[in-house]
Amino acid sequence: MSALETNTMTNEPILKVEHLSMRFGGLMAINDLSFEARRGDITALIGPNGAGKTTVFNCVTGFYKPTMGMVTMTQRSGKKFLLERMPDFEITRDAKVARTFQNIRMFSGLTVLENLLVAQHNMLMRASGFTILGLLGFAGYRRATEQSIEIAKYWLEKADLLSRADDPAGDLPYGAQRRLEIARAMCTGPEFLCLDEPAAGLNPRESLALNELLRSIRQDTGTSILLIEHDMSVVMEISDHVIVLEYGQKISDGTPEEVKNDPRVIAAYLGVEDEEVEEVIEEIEEIQETEGGQGGKH
Amino acid sequence: MEYFVQQLINGLTLGSIYGLIAIGYTMVYGIIGMINFAHGDIFMLGGFAALIIFLILTSVFVGLPVVILLLVMMAAAMLTAALWNWTIEKVAYRPLRGSFRLAPLITAIGMSITLSNFVQVTQGPRNKPIPPLVSSVYEVFGLSVSLKQIMIMILTVSLLAVFWYIVNKTSLGRAQRATEQDRKMAALLGIDVDRTISITFIMGAALAAVAGTMYLMYYGVIVFTDGFVPGVKAFTAAVLGGIGSLPGAVLGGLLIGLIESLWSAYFTIDYKDVATFSILAIVLIFKPSGILGRPEVEKV
Amino acid sequence: MATTTYSKESAGGSLTARALREGFFAGLVAFGLFFLFVGLETTQNIRNELVLNQRWGLLAIFVAVAAAGRFLGVLYVQPWLAARKTAKAAVADKDVPETFLARNFSKLAILALVLMPPVAVALFGVQGSLKWVDNFGIQILIYVMLAWGLNIVVGLAGLLDLGYVAFYAVGAYSYALLSQHFGFSFWILLPLAGILAAFWGMILGFPVLRLKGDYLAIVTLAFGEIIRLVLINWTEVTKGTFGISGIPKASVFGIWSFDVGAANNFAKVFELPMSSAYYKIFLFYVILALALLTAYVTIRLRRMPIGRAWEALREDEIACRSLGINTVTTKLTAFATGAMFGGFAGSFFAVRQGFVSPESFVFLESAIILAIVVLGGMGSLVGIAVAATVMVGGTELLREMTFLKAIFGPDFTPELYRMLIFGLAMVVVMVWKPRGFVGSREPTAFLHERKAVSGSFTKEGHG
């Protein structure tokens, strides 16, 4: 899990989506979509509302079964998983792909710490001998519990939630719940983390803290990240690779620099009758101005 | 063949009664998402009200025409049952609206226990038989169809038509459908949600009381425990037809009635309720949205 | 339609007017409700025809009570409640120091239960203790155990089960049939009955676990009824409605027996006068041990990954799946564990009664057990035990109230009102405390300090 290892392995795809299609009744939500996310990268999936971003996520994480196509996850060990054939919980448990949700899904009646312990279910389940040894009070389980609390503590510190560990998760403010959801996903020990609009509804300060958290996740654990985002400042600032969707199809794919200059992307955003468009263009220009001649990250 | 058609008619009659009760379940479930467990007991209460009115009328006005007798019984049963359901909703269900989901269910079960035991305490635990009211039987193509069977079926069809009209064509029905979709939004648009829900309970109870009157007339006997089994079967019917759908409730009721009478006729009467409950389980497991219901999509 | 909100400007004279109006209205409604059912009574005359009895005096009492109750309620109770609410809001969040009693409630309760039979014998004599040990002690403890078992399914995993009595029946019939056909003893059949019930829990659970909320409730109700109907109709094996009688008694691990003729009869060995009370006292300790085992396992399981997964499942099933938890096996284990305790309780029931019949396993039993779980506060063992004591003990107590005969005349049979009062109590408690007696939840792990989670955060599950 060292940073060094990840650096040497960049450019190797960790997730490969090939000819993915998803049909809901008569509606083609995703149409023949192919893209790759590379190991160690933060890959962003952007696009106007209704472009099918969340559907892609749900297909990758097994919550939807795609109508057609292949989703391949390659682990660090070289082991490959065909995600479209696996049930959702196995994708997290075996293929090591974790996710968060657009509408936060907390265990609001459990404490923050308990939330993180639930995320380590499979590890603890094995350690407790599928409950039986644990019930009999074997020492192995006690050690595993202590270890799991250490892991939880590590992520609580990262997410700046240590002081609230014993409060019910439902009692946290919105931004903290977002961070908790990411920390909880990390407690499953993923190699690939999918975040569905992690910055939605955050204030600028929380947004900065989030960027920090995501960077440190990549730095310290080498976890690759795929994120859906509307907030362009987040996308442009932290992602290494951007994929743009429109009407379920890929219209652009490249570094943030390349994507924001792509005429098709600009047209796609302009094509939408929405105030959002102005915002996006302004933001793009702003970023271009501030970043000046820095160029891409690759 | 004749035997089969005969059973078909019996099944349809029974199914009509289930269908009338099922409408109350489906409407209440549609509008506040609650299984009104006490609805079967409202049906029983309606039957008892009809019984008592029958006894009053026959002892005070001897020789009253049967049609008037039945109409007065039905009207009085509808009024009484509606008043009961209105009061129950106001006292026991309304304070719990929007709270913990299990609380209304437990309250409704408590209400069901209360109602049946109330009738047991005030009216006694024994079977209450009445002399046959309508006994004409017609011979059609070698089949015997009794007048009361015809009456029950015609009544069900006409009541369904009236209710379908109310729900789909009147402003009250619009208010009901709006409340069903989104209670908060409906309230913001100026719909009196409390009143709409109250009226739904009143309508459901009135139909259950009609069913109770028909039940009393058809079987000629009623007892305080008669709420539970028809209630559960009517709920099965509502689910089978697709909960929330009025025609679905009647269709489900007819199917349950048919299954019951055909099963008793061709297999064994002992296991007829097992057959009904198994169908309920099978439908829910394989097609939880029922026959005419809209499927629910899991949102992630 | 009368409004029920209390506002400042309606104080004083207009309040009295409003109270009068609402009181009158309530009287009118009560008249409509009770006119047919209370004012008139259907009875059979000598020729077996139905005739009506008139009870207008009783009806007048009902109407007067409703009107006066509403009048006083609007005039005094509502302002008082509103005042108390504002007063309470002012002093909210004040830490109340825990008393010794509150802190050690469960330990003291267990101690009291262990001491109960000897105290009852000392106070009422060997024969006189029977009533307290059997009618109250064993009866309440059976419900406590059943409710604790169901609590695993409903309170922890959030799966609404309306057919729990089916597993109780499986346990009871397993014991009855296996002991009659194979002559196994109670101590062999007790675990076996639990395992069989757990097995049935899996069989019934597997197809229905995809269902959500109310649908799950109805299917479990259907399964409960199917099992009861099969018990009634499969007469070759179950003897139908006649039930199975002559179920052998349990022994003290085979050392002492309670059979009257046996050489190692308990009373004979200890040279005590013959009495059935010893057997009941023995059974009391058996059910106490079984109930405590249920509680112990529940407490331990909550700190295990499986227990946390159950609670997480209650909170959000989709999030569980996203964390790699196999929700199907998690639900099944909850179902099976709950069923197993139901099976234990069932085999105990069979050995206590010496007789089982389908009559004992009607839907009402499931409803009562579920009501106890919800009334107690889902997930809270103490709350559930309190609810069982109040609801079951309270209705048992009604049998004892012979003094009521002095008030209502010699025909008055309090038992008749047992279920009526039980049903009303269910409604009243739910309206008064929708989250039950104990609404808060104890966390299973903590870093700095253990704080109870308020009931407003916990969810009730949707599957």
How far apart, in whole angstroms, are the C-alpha atoms of residue C316 and residue A109?
10
- pLDDT tens column, C252-271: 776 777 776 666 777 667 77
Residue B101: partners with Cβ closer than 8 Å, 6 or more residues away? C213, C460, C462
Is C357 inside any structural domain? yes
Give the pLDDT score at B211: 93
Contact C349, C168 (CB under 8 A): yes
Q: Which residues of chain C have pLDDT under 50?
A: 1-10, 94, 463
Structure-token pair, residue A240: 């290494």
- pLDDT tens column, C83-98: 887 776 665 554 555 6
Chains that touch B (3 or more CB pairs under 8 A): A, C
Contact C252, C108 (CB under 8 A): no
**Residue B108 pLDDT > 70:** yes
Mean pLDDT on B245-262: 88
- pLDDT tens column, B204-216: 999 999 999 999 9
**Residue A4 pLDDT > 60:** no
B27 or B42, which is more confident?
B42
Distance of CA C82 to the CA centre of its chain: 32
Is B276 inside any structural domain? no
Tell me, yes or no, whether C405 and C304 share the same domain: yes
- The residue type found at C379 is G
Is C389 inside any structural domain? yes
* Least reliable range by pLDDT among A30-39, A237-246, B254-263, C443-452: C443-452
Residue B140 lies in domain:
2-228
Q: Do B284 and C420 touch (CB under 8 A)?
A: no
Give the pLDDT score at B299: 58
Residue C69 lies in domain:
12-84
| CB-closest option in A113, A121, A153 to C309 | A121
Chain A contact for C314, CB < 8 A?
yes
How far apart, in whole angstroms, are the C-alpha atoms of residue C352 and residue C281?
11
Tell me, yes or no, whether C80 and C205 share the same domain: no
Q: Do C305 and A125 touch (CB under 8 A)?
A: yes
User: In DSSP terms, which residues pair with A73 in a beta bridge?
Assistant: A15, A81
**Residue B88 pLDDT > 90:** yes
Is C461 inside any structural domain? no
- pLDDT tens column, A102-160: 888 888 888 888 898 888 887 777 777 666 666 666 666 777 788 888 888 888 888 88
Tell me, yes or no, whether C24 and C54 share the same domain: yes
Tell me, yes or no, whether C391 and C261 share the same domain: yes
Nearest CA in chain C to B120: C416
- pLDDT tens column, C168-179: 999 999 988 888
- pLDDT tens column, B139-184: 777 777 788 888 888 888 888 888 888 888 888 888 888 887 788 8
Is C129 inside any structural domain? yes
Tell me, yes or no, whether C287 and C341 share the same domain: yes
Domain total in chain C? 2
Judging contacts by C-beta atoms under 8 Å, the chain A residues touching residue C451 are 111, 166-167
Judging contacts by C-beta atoms under 8 Å, the chain B residues touching residue A54 are 300
Is B55 inside any structural domain? yes
Report H helices in chain A: 3-8, 53-60, 88-93, 112-119, 121-127, 132-135, 139-158, 174-186, 204-221, 232-238, 256-261, 263-271, 275-291
Q: Do A109 and C316 touch (CB under 8 A)?
A: no
Chain B contact for C164, CB < 8 A?
no
Give the pLDDT score at A7: 44
Give SS3 for B287.
coil
Residue B78: partners with Cβ closer than 8 Å, 6 or more residues away? B46, B205, B206, B209, B210
Is C41 inside any structural domain? yes
Interface predicted TM-score (ipTM): 0.85
Is C406 inside any structural domain? yes
Tell me, yes or no, whether C118 and C74 share the same domain: no
Which residues between 197 and 236 in chain C have a beta carbon less than 8 angstroms from any beta carbon of chain B? 207-208, 210-215, 217-219, 221-223, 225-226, 229-230, 232-233
Is B52 inside any structural domain? yes
Give the pLDDT score at C346: 92
Chains that touch A (3 or more CB pairs under 8 A): B, C
**Residue A184 pLDDT > 60:** yes
Chains that touch C (3 or more CB pairs under 8 A): A, B
Tell me, yes or no, whether C73 and C110 share the same domain: no
* Dihedral, CA of residue A230, residue A235, residue A241 and residue A245, to nearest 10: 10
Residue B157: partners with Cβ closer than 8 Å, 6 or more residues away? none
Chain A contact for C325, CB < 8 A?
yes
Tell me, yes or no, whether C112 and C184 share the same domain: yes
Tell me, yes or no, whether C166 and C19 share the same domain: no
| CB-closest option in A93, A124, A165 to C305 | A124
**Residue B247 pLDDT > 80:** yes
- Residue A179's pLDDT band, with cuts at 50, 70 and 90, is confident
Distance of CA C279 to the CA centre of its chain: 25
Is C296 inside any structural domain? yes
Judging contacts by C-beta atoms under 8 Å, the chain A residues touching residue C322 are 61, 63, 88-89, 92, 98-101, 105, 185
A166 or C4, which is more confident?
A166
Give the pLDDT score at A295: 41
Give the pLDDT score at C52: 80
Distance of CA B197 to the CA centre of its chain: 17
Is B187 inside any structural domain? yes
Is C441 inside any structural domain? no
Give the pLDDT score at A254: 84
Instruction: Report the b/e string of C190-213 with b at 16+ CB within 10 A.
Output: bebbbbbbbebbeebbeebbbbbb
Give SS3 for C37.
coil
Mean pLDDT on B45-55: 92
Give the pLDDT score at C404: 67
Q: Do A131 and C304 touch (CB under 8 A)?
A: yes
Tell me, yes or no, whether C191 and C263 share the same domain: yes
Is B242 inside any structural domain? no
B274 or B300, which is more confident?
B274
Give the pLDDT score at B292: 76
Q: How far is A201 from chain B (nearest CA, A)?
A: 19
Tell me, yes or no, whether C291 and C383 share the same domain: yes
Q: Do A114 and C318 touch (CB under 8 A)?
A: no
Domain total in chain B? 1
Residue C67: partners with Cβ closer than 8 Å, 6 or more residues away? C23, C24, C26, C27, C30
Give the pLDDT score at A282: 65
φ/ψ (deg, to 5) at C232? -70, -40
Q: How far is C287 from chain B (nearest CA, A)?
A: 27
Is B10 inside any structural domain? yes
Nearest CA in chain C to A124: C305
Is B255 inside any structural domain? no
Q: How far is C277 from chain A (nearest CA, A)?
A: 36
How far apart, in whole angstroms, are the C-alpha atoms of residue A154 and residue A216?
12
CATH number at residue C291: 1.10.3470
Give the pLDDT score at A278: 59
Q: How far is B100 from chain A (nearest CA, A)?
A: 13
**Residue A49 pLDDT > 80:** no
Contact C301, C362 (CB under 8 A): no
B126 or C146, which is more confident?
C146
Which residue, among A63, A107, A154, would best test binding to C if mutated, counting the most C CBs under 10 Å from its CB?
Answer: A107
How far apart, in whole angstroms, are the C-alpha atoms of residue C346 and residue C230?
17
Give the pLDDT score at A5: 44
List domains and CATH numbers for chain A: 3-99+191-291 (3.40.50.300), 107-171 (no CATH)
Q: Do B80 and C32 touch (CB under 8 A)?
A: yes
Residue B164: partners with Cβ closer than 8 Å, 6 or more residues away? B246, B247
Instruction: Report the b/e string of B202-224 with b at 16+ CB within 10 A.
Output: bbbbbbbbbbbbbbbbbeeebbb
